[in-house]
Structure 1
Amino acid sequence: MPAAPTPRPPSLTERTIEAVRDGIRNGTFVPGELYSVYQLADRLAVSRSPVREALLRLAETGMVTIEKNRGFRVVLPGARELAEIMAVRVALEVPAAAHAARRAGPQDREALEKEREAMQQAVLDGDEGTFLLHDQHLHGLLLNLAGNSRTIRIIANLRDATRLVGMSTIRTSRSLEEVYAEHLPILTAVEHSDAEAAARAMRRHLESTGKLLLRGAATENDDVDRLWEDYVG
């Protein structure tokens, strides 16, 4: 049996994208502030070409806007933008959960169980940061089971965009225990190879998260339920 190919190292553009995403997560890049392409290139010790390419790709996800000859800004998504983001997540993650239920083998279920246990421990410890990390890992495992690497990258970008609204709905709208509980029906369905139940549970989880995010970002002129119906359905 031929050996598996050696993974390709990330390109300069991909490294730049990840650096910007890390900066958004840790607060280095603040929504609305103007940042220089030249300074970012110098900071990462790369030429301006991969930085420009990275910013163009991030702009496609809505995470940044580019101002010609000036630089770029991180975009704080509003309720309408969040509705668009959640529409994409529902379209991709709901069928992915169904695929995961059909395809998961013993090793896959073991990996999912480890993430569940880590999330449960984070709930007991009251550790929001660790909980969110394993939440992301669990969603990544489900997406990976669906077998589409592009989907994983798209969802990672969209999750980063929603973080700008306030990191998460935890504390402000629901507890760690409540978020943890929303994941259990998804995992139970995967454990029993029940694709339809996995899809339903994932949709309920994303709808709960999405509507809370929309309410957190909505202005007095935004009708959250109407936005959800118009964009997600």
Structure 2
Amino acid sequence: MTPSTDTSGGGPMDQAVGAARVPPQLRASDVARARPEAGSGVRGEHTHSEVPIPRPVVQRASVRGQIVDALRTALVAGELRPGEVYSAPALGERFGVSATPVREAMQQLALEGAVEVVPNRGFRVVERGARELAELAEIRALIEVPVMLRLARSVAVERWAELRPLADATVRAASSGCPATYAESDRAFHRALLLPSGNEQLVRITADLHRRSQWPLVGSPASRGRADLVADAAQHAALLDALIARDLDAVRGLVGGHFTSA
């Protein structure tokens, strides 16, 4: 995809239309006591006994969400290259939408650190090196290794056995060779591992770190090869085996090593 120039600025997403409120002077008891003829009238005419019907929520936020997902997929797949600038109009043409939801989606990715705004041009994909990836792996290990060791001691082995289908799904996704498909399956598995902690903030933060670790590195191949994905997925099954066996040493080594190898 060829970078292009964006001469328009971004802006915050419009607020969704709120539901209409029932006037305070109109209570349910008032409607119940109303005379039958009070609610009658010409078809299509609004009468005082009718409760206003809430307007449907506009779909613009939904469009933006779909574009965010599409851009994340393109980023992981290597279709959006580090260091290159992409304009909202050009990407909008690619996705068949106007530039506005694309610009809003790119603003979301900018908040996540995936891209940066280039005034009067568009958005540049952030260039990341091996050092940043190593730092992310270290942070994930500091957070997740002790959590997984605690869960390995306390969570019933049957709970870990229930995650086997998710582990198998990562193997199938890896076998497809599609990095974007594998990235999604990989995040789903790791999220399920941490859900028994009951800590929503932990799950959210680690998911963000995980997503960042999947972005391409500058100077590296556009995406990981099939062999790398298959090897990564194989560690999921091994981790479940260790959790079921309550082998804490194996759990510690697999969780920490998994981040480094990824």
Band the TM-score falls in, shorter-chain normalisation: 0.5 to 0.7
Q: Offset of 1:20 from its aligned partner?
A: 1.3
Match of 2:257 among 204, 207, 218: 204
- Report the equivalent of 1:83: 134
Q: Offset of 1:132 from its aligned partner?
A: 3.2
Indicate conservation of the 8 Å contact 2:82/2:216, yes or no: no
Counterpart amino acid of residue 242 in structure 2? A
- Cα deviation 1:6-31 (Å, max 9, x = unaligned): xxx97555444322102213444233
Tell me which moved more, 69-78 or 157-166: 157-166
Larger radius of gyration: 2
Cα RMSD after superposing both structures: 3.9
- Report the equivalent of 2:215: 161
Unpaired segments ≥5 residues, structure 2: 1-58
- Report the equivalent of 2:82: 31
- Report the equivalent of 2:6: none
- Cα deviation 1:10-57 (Å, max 9, x = unaligned): 755544432210221344423332211344456464673x65554344
- Report the equivalent of 2:189: 138
Report the Cα distance in structure 1 between the residues aligned to 2:217 and 2:65, rounded to whole angstroms.
20
- TM-score w.r.t. structure 1 length? 0.61
- Report the equivalent of 1:22: 73
User: Judging changes above 3 Å, is the alpha-carbon distance between structure 1 residues 44 and 121 closer, same or farther for their aligned structure 2 residues?
Assistant: closer
Instruction: Specify the SS of the correspondent of 2:83.
Output: coil
Indicate conservation of the 8 Å contact 2:152/2:243, yes or no: yes
- TM-score w.r.t. structure 2 length? 0.56
Equivalent residues in 2 for 1:1-233, closer than 5 Å = 13-40=64-91, 43=95, 45=97, 48=100, 51-52=102-103, 54-98=105-149, 100-102=151-153, 104-105=155-156, 108-119=159-170, 127-129=176-178, 132=182, 134-147=185-198, 148=200, 149-151=203-205, 153-162=207-216, 165-166=220-221, 167-168=223-224, 171=227, 176=230, 178-193=231-246, 198-209=251-262
Report how many residues are paired.
Answer: 195
- Cα deviation 1:108-150 (Å, max 9, x = unaligned): 4243212334456678xx5444993544432232133334341
Report the Cα distance in structure 1 between the residues aligned to 2:217 and 2:187, rounded to whole angstroms.
12
Report the Cα distance in structure 1 between the residues aligned to 2:131 and 2:151, rounded to whole angstroms.
30
- Cα deviation 1:81-106 (Å, max 9, x = unaligned): 22232233323432443354356456
User: Judging changes above 3 Å, is the alpha-carbon distance between structure 1 residues 169 and 85 closer, same or farther for their aligned structure 2 residues?
Assistant: farther
Counterpart amino acid of residue 75 in structure 2? I
Report the Cα distance in structure 2 between the residues aligned to 1:187 and 1:31, rounded to whole angstroms.
35
User: Judging changes above 3 Å, is the alpha-carbon distance between structure 1 residues 15 and 175 closer, same or farther for their aligned structure 2 residues?
Assistant: closer
Counterpart amino acid of residue 123 in structure 2? F
Report the Cα distance in structure 1 between the residues aligned to 2:144 and 2:225, rounded to whole angstroms.
19
Unpaired segments ≥5 residues, structure 1: 1-8, 210-233
- Cα deviation 1:54-82 (Å, max 9, x = unaligned): 43442344321221221112234212222
- Report the equivalent of 1:226: none
Counterpart amino acid of residue 197 in structure 2? A
Q: Identity of counterpart residues, as a percentage?
A: 29
